[in-house]
Amino acid sequence: MIVQSPLEAANPHPGVPAVFPHVAVAIPCGTMVHADFAVSLGTMMHTLGEMPMSIVVGKSSIVADARNLGLDYAQKFNADYILFIDSDMTFPRDALLRLLVRNVDIIGATYSRRTAPHHFLGDILPEQPVDAPKGLLEMTRIPTGFLLVKSSVFERLKKPYFRFRVDEEAGVNIGEDYDFSDRVRSLGFRIWCDPYLSKELGHIGEHAFKL
């Protein structure tokens, strides 16, 4: 039995050296991260072997600023892709590879809201296109807790890349993730979601236990 590493399995042409893209993992956070997140990240990085990777951290109490800081650092490494991972997420070891092999501009996974009602975050495009890649859903909005974006996408956006927006007609605030979704779709980019990976993501919350 021949056992392939995840990187070898991702190569569609066995025997031909694969040229793997440089991925920068951008982590927005405060001064600390969750232990379970750290275990997930370490396990995933170990699985990726010799793939060119960078890890950058954007520290800010304002999540939009933290994402922008992480992106600024990632761009200095000339990364081909940016993988945004929130520090309150857990994920399987092959999560990045499962997104990377799709070779699309923007792809991620969704997950449960941490507070009741615990429905999934994001909005699925009501009528799925006939050209949707097998096993993927097209989204109108997607959360950025586990999102892979080609660096070229940001060449089409104006700074700040992530920002909050106010919908005065509806009287609500639009989060930086949904604002990003709206802006990239207005530029013609499509947003994809892996529903199978979504079932394997964890969103770490808090609960106070009482007698």
Q: Does residue 42 sit within a domain?
A: yes
For residue 30, is it within any domain?
yes
Per-residue pLDDT at 18: 54
Identify whether 173 is part of a domain: yes
Q: For residue 95, what pLDDT band results from cuts at 50, 70 and 90? A: very high
Angle at 27 between CA 110 and CA 164, to 5 degrees: 70
Tokens of 106: 């923007």
Domain membership flag for residue 119: yes
3-state SS class at 166: strand
Q: Which residue has the higher pLDDT, 108 or 14?
A: 108
Residue 120 predicted with pLDDT over 90: no
Question: Taking the C-alpha atoms of 60, 104, 95 and 184 in order, what is their torsion angle to the nearest 10 degrees?
Answer: 30
Sign of CA dihedral 108, 109, 112, 114: negative
Helix residue ranges per DSSP H, the chain: 6-9, 35-47, 63-76, 95-100, 151-154, 176-186, 195-198
- Check residue 197 and give its pLDDT: 97
For 125-163, the pLDDT digits (tens) are 999 999 999 999 999 999 999 999 999 999 999 999 999
* 54 domain-assigned: yes
Q: Give the CATH number for residue 178.
A: 3.90.550.40
Domain membership of residue 160 (yes or no) is yes
Per the model's pLDDT, the better-predicted residue between 6 and 177 turns out to be 177
Name the phi and psi angles at 25, rounded to 5: -90, 115
Other beta carbons within 10 angstroms of residue 115's beta carbon come to: 8
For the chain, the average pLDDT equals 89
Token digits of residue 130? 């006939």
More confident residue, 123 or 13: 123
What is the tally of helices (H) and strands (E) in the chain? 7, 12
Burial of 110 (0-12, 13-18, 19+ CB in 10 A): buried
Q: Given a cut of 60, is residue 32 above it in pLDDT?
A: yes
Q: Which residue range(s) make up the domain with 45?
A: 21-203
In a domain, 180, yes or no: yes
**What average pLDDT does the segment 68-97 reach?**
95
DSSP H/E element including 137: strand 137-141
Decide: helix, strand or coil at residue 114: coil
Any bridge partners for residue 28, and if so which? Answer: 58
- Structural domains in the chain (count): 1
pLDDT at 172: 86
Give the Cα separation of 181 and 141 in Å (integer).
Answer: 5
In a domain, 16, yes or no: no
pLDDT at 60 over 60: yes
